[in-house]
Amino acid sequence: MYSGSPEFESFLCEQLEKLKVDTDVFKDYVMGILQDDSASRTEKVDAVAESLQFAVEDESVAGLVPDFAAECVDKWVKEVEEVEHQKKTEQQEAALKDAVKVSTPASAPAARSPVKTQGWENPQDKALKQRLMEQFAWQVDEVVDFDENGAEMLRSSAKKDSHDPLADDLFRNDNRARVAAAQQMDRLKAKAQHE
């Protein structure tokens, strides 16, 4: 949580002295209101104004309270936004520096070790990848399918080394051929019944 700059604290103390209130007590109170992230700008202005209206005893300065509350909140919001923007810029610069460090040749040996563990560069990882591919291919090759009569049939690929699923006829859309064959069978049945 941002606690305010020394410049803001001196501004706040000066303004509270102009309003003739106890600066130590109300400085902490106003700072507590301003640091509340859940309150909106207008809620903060209203809370500061209400708290100071009851504390101001001199009628000549009581009219300054609403203007002071608005100015104080605006100055606080502006300062918080500047600090957040500065932090965000510093984080972006740090991330950029880290990215540059990783991409420079001098830091390449240090950066390669994490990349090596993620990739399939070493022989153990290649062997693991090959075993996974073989297991996956084995599961894909054993596809249970049904023929036109509803009988269950097992279609398996004769080409185990092929990585092209279309070459194995596993994913070919044969609906058109099935519909044409069914229509041809219907025509032949109708022709046989007619004769």
Looking at residue 110, its pLDDT comes to: 53
Mean pLDDT, residues 85-102 taken together: 84
How many whole angstroms from its chain centre is CA 77?
Answer: 27
Instruction: Judge whether 13 and 28 are in contact, CB under 8 Å.
Output: no
pLDDT tens, residue by residue, 19-30: 888 888 888 888
DSSP 94-105: HHHHHHHHHHSG
pLDDT tens, residue by residue, 126-184: 888 887 777 666 555 555 666 777 676 655 554 455 555 555 555 567 788 889 999 99
Strand partners, 145: 153
Looking at residue 113, its pLDDT comes to: 52
pLDDT tens, residue by residue, 107-117: 555 545 554 44
Choice between 76 and 100, residue whose per-residue pLDDT is larger: 76
Mean pLDDT, residues 41-49 taken together: 86
Report CA-CA distances (Å) from 66 to 53, 56, 139.
9, 12, 75
pLDDT tens, residue by residue, 68-82: 888 888 988 898 888
Domain ranges of the chain: 6-102, 124-194
Among 41-45, 83-87, 119-123, 159-163, where is mean pLDDT lowest?
159-163
One-letter-per-residue 3-state SS of 51-84:
HHHHHCCCHHHHCCHHHHHHHHHHHHHHHHHHHH
pTM score, whole prediction: 0.47
